[in-house]
A and B are shown apart, each in its own frame.
Chain A
Amino acid sequence: MADHALLVEFGDVIDNHIHDRVLRLDMALISRPFEGFVEAVPAYASVLLRFDPLVTDHRTVQTKVAALIASCSDHVGAGSLREVAVCYDPEFAPDLAPIAEATGLAPEDVIQAHLSGDYSVFMYGFAPGYAYLAGVLGQIQMPRKDAAVRGIPAGSIIIAGPQCLVTTLTMPTGWWIIGRSPTKILDASSDERPFLFDVGDRVKFQRISRAQFDAGVGA
């Protein structure tokens, strides 16, 4: 891409096996960066590599990355397990009822299905701290809404298809809003750990009550 980047694509679908290959290359780059390496951006099925065009070039980077991929270990280290608190109070979950209606489940079953998903961080993107979690159970997977809804507050738990996300900024979204989290995925005030997740981490949602949310539990 242009004069300073290369995109390594491992496939064109959202798939655990493909994502493992993304994680392996990302880890290999972090432990054995090539000369001129600037940064890597792992996504669902690809890794973007930025390099310094004054130090190296596309062809050299391509050769080095091919060698890295060939020598990557087959093993992906399990990421850390992160806990995220979630409150499903109706005020925070305007879309629980429509999802229940669309899926034929009771609202409480939608909540239980959301809590029992096996989530992992596939990528960050779109906006600071927007971590895309894959692992929403099939029974509550919903297609995107036809139009985005404006002004959805930061901390909203939103789902679409197999994906779940905890928003970090007030923004419009076409995903379904099912709860709110006090857990900071993006902590603008922290220099030590400004982002809660690394790509590859696993995530468990912990339900909290409205009273706990208001008391700041899980923040």
Chain B
Amino acid sequence: MSEAVLSVHSAGPHVSIQDAGRFGFLRYGVPASGPMDRASFAAANIALGNQVNQPAVEISMGGLVLDCLTGSVTFAVAGGGFMLDLAGRKMGSWTIATLTEGQRLAIRPGHWGSWTYLAFAGELTAEKWLGSSSTHAMSGLGGGRLTAGTQLSVMEAAVRPEREGSIPCPVTARPKSELHVVLGPQDRFFSRKTIETFLASPYRLTDAYDRMGVRLQGAALKPDGLLNMPSEAIVRGSVQVAGDGVATVLLADHQTTGGYPKIATVLDVDLDAFAQLRPRDLVAFRQVTPAQALALTRMRAATAVRYLEAIAKPRGTLEQRLMSENLIGGVVDAHRSHDHASQGN
């Protein structure tokens, strides 16, 4: 059995271990947590030949620098347009490559995106809480945050040359500034005019952005009357409006209940791409009916399944790929094949 041991040289804030999420505990005050961009997280695991739920490292715009102390392991990085430096080799995210003993891997923010995922071929050792390694930011329970000095261990670490190269980045992984919402559940606390303002005005993401949610800046959304509703459950995507009229979109580690009214809820299918926006980016909210929301969700689910099926297949080793291009194209165009490999972004 081979093991790869990695040591964190430096890590930005909000760098943590996440698996697909911790479900079914909302009634005990525990949100699902899990990746901010679940689709990119799934892509990293699937393209590497892992199970979709395996723990991976979620990296914020603060970046992550890792040293491989022992062993060799193939890894995938998917999500956003991040920049990688693997022992001097520059790559973009949406890449699969191999890290070997003594090498340093640096992952830093690039031209777009707020979160990227680092998955390993093998089993990343991670603490579980309630059956999941997802880290809940507020309590630190689960796999935990990564800070300088943290050691990561990958059991059954594998080298998978047949999977190295780029992962196609789907258009749905790009940041999305037009968000579909279903109004409610407390739109009755807002005047018709306020709801029209909400749907017609641009809102800007602020720096108050973490795994719990992101505060927006824009036209105030003053709720009518007294804010004395009893607290009730909240879902990811809720657009909650505080007494001062400021809206917050709740994300992976959201508190599970609240007493502030929710003017609308962003469709779950838009949240991954929303999370890839950066502070100061603009968003607009587009109202859909619940039936339209379902139709969008089902269409997107079908597309996601086809995409994951396509990237699940190993592309073959470089030798095999050259061979197949040879057979099909008759000649090897080294320049073209290089372009292809660096098409990650």
- Kindly state whether residue A106 has any CB partner on chain B within 8 Å: no
- Give the docked Cα–Cα distance between A207 and B297 (Å): 53
Q: Are B24 and A12 in contact (CB under 8 A)?
A: no
Q: Which of A159-179 contact B (CB under 8 A)?
A: 169, 171
Q: Are B298 and A54 in contact (CB under 8 A)?
A: yes
B residues near A127, Cβ cutoff 8 Å: 29, 138-139, 255-256
Q: Which of A35-43, A85-93, A94-102 contacts B (4 or more CB under 8 A)?
A: A35-43
B residues near A124, Cβ cutoff 8 Å: 27-29, 256-257
Q: Which of A64-72, A74-82, A107-115, A128-136 contacts B (4 or more CB under 8 A)?
A: A128-136
- Kindly state whether residue B318 has any CB partner on chain A within 8 Å: no
Q: Are A46 and B232 in contact (CB under 8 A)?
A: yes
Return A33 CB to nearest CB of chain B, in Å. 12
Q: Which of B185, B257, B265, B293 neighbours the largest number of chain A CB atoms within 10 Å of its CB?
A: B257
- Kindly state whether residue A84 has any CB partner on chain B within 8 Å: no
Residue in B141, B185, B268, B290 whose CB lies within 8 Å of A57 = B290
- Kindly state whether residue A5 has any CB partner on chain B within 8 Å: yes
Return A131 CB to nearest CB of chain B, in Å. 8
Q: Are A46 and B267 in contact (CB under 8 A)?
A: no
Q: Are A2 and B29 in contact (CB under 8 A)?
A: no
Return A19 CB to nearest CB of chain B, in Å. 9
Given A7-B233, A128-B30, A194-B130, are A1 and B185 neighbors across the interface (CB < 8 Å)? yes
Return B286 CB to nearest CB of chain A, in Å. 13
- Give the docked Cα–Cα distance between A194 and B132 (Å): 13
- Kindly state whether residue B301 has any CB partner on chain A within 8 Å: yes
- Kindly state whether residue B237 has any CB partner on chain A within 8 Å: yes
Q: Are B139 and A128 in contact (CB under 8 A)?
A: yes
- Give the docked Cα–Cα distance between A188 and B29 (Å): 13
Q: Are B182 and A1 in contact (CB under 8 A)?
A: yes
Return A146 CB to nearest CB of chain B, in Å. 14
- Kindly state whether residue A14 has any CB partner on chain B within 8 Å: yes
Residue contacts A-B, CB under 8 angstroms, 6 given: A1-B184, A3-B290, A41-B26, A44-B230, A46-B230, A54-B301
Known: A3-B297, A43-B233, A48-B235. 8 other contacts (CB 8 A): A1-B184, A1-B235, A1-B238, A3-B182, A12-B229, A39-B26, A44-B231, A127-B138
Give residues in B with beta carbon < 8 Å to A: 23-30, 129-131, 136, 138-139, 141, 181-182, 184-185, 229-233, 235, 237-238, 255-258, 262, 265-269, 290-291, 293-294, 296-298, 301
Give residues in A with beta carbon < 8 Å to B: 1-5, 7, 9, 12-14, 38-48, 50, 53-54, 57-59, 123-132, 169, 171, 186, 188, 191, 194-195, 199
